[in-house]
């Protein structure tokens, strides 16, 4: 069936890359997304997956549509399964 944690792992990697591309620290992203730095850290390290509402807050904080954030994760998942 595959790695159940793979989507969480990929989400964390994509989040980390987008955060760095935007020049944001974990603290600043957390502030913009109305969450804690430790939560951003846990997401990036795939210790937890994001809640649905969190995806929207993170996307807004990163100044991208939530659909684009999900599409980036989907694309990476597809590449990894090839």
Give the pLDDT confidence of 19-57 residue by residue, as tens digits. Answer: 999 999 999 999 999 999 999 999 999 999 999 999 999
Residue 53 lies in a domain: yes
User: For residue 57, what is the domain's CATH number?
Assistant: 1.10.260.40
Residue 1 lies in a domain: no
Rounded alpha-carbon distances, angstroms, from residue 50 to 47, 62, 82: 10, 15, 25
Residue 41 lies in a domain: yes
Name the domain count of the chain.
1
pLDDT value of position 4? 83
Range(s) of the domain holding residue 23:
6-75
């Amino acid at each position: 069936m595959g790695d159940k944690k793979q989507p969480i792992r990929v989400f964390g990697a994509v989040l980390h890359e987008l955060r760095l591309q935007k020049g944001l620290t974990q603290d600043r992203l957390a502030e913009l997304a109305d969450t804690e730095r430790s939560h951003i850290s846990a997401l990036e390290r795939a210790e937890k997956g994001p809640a649905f509402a969190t995806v929207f807050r993170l996307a807004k904080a990163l100044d991208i549509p939530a659909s684009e954030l999900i599409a980036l994760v989907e694309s990476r998942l597809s590449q990894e399964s090839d």
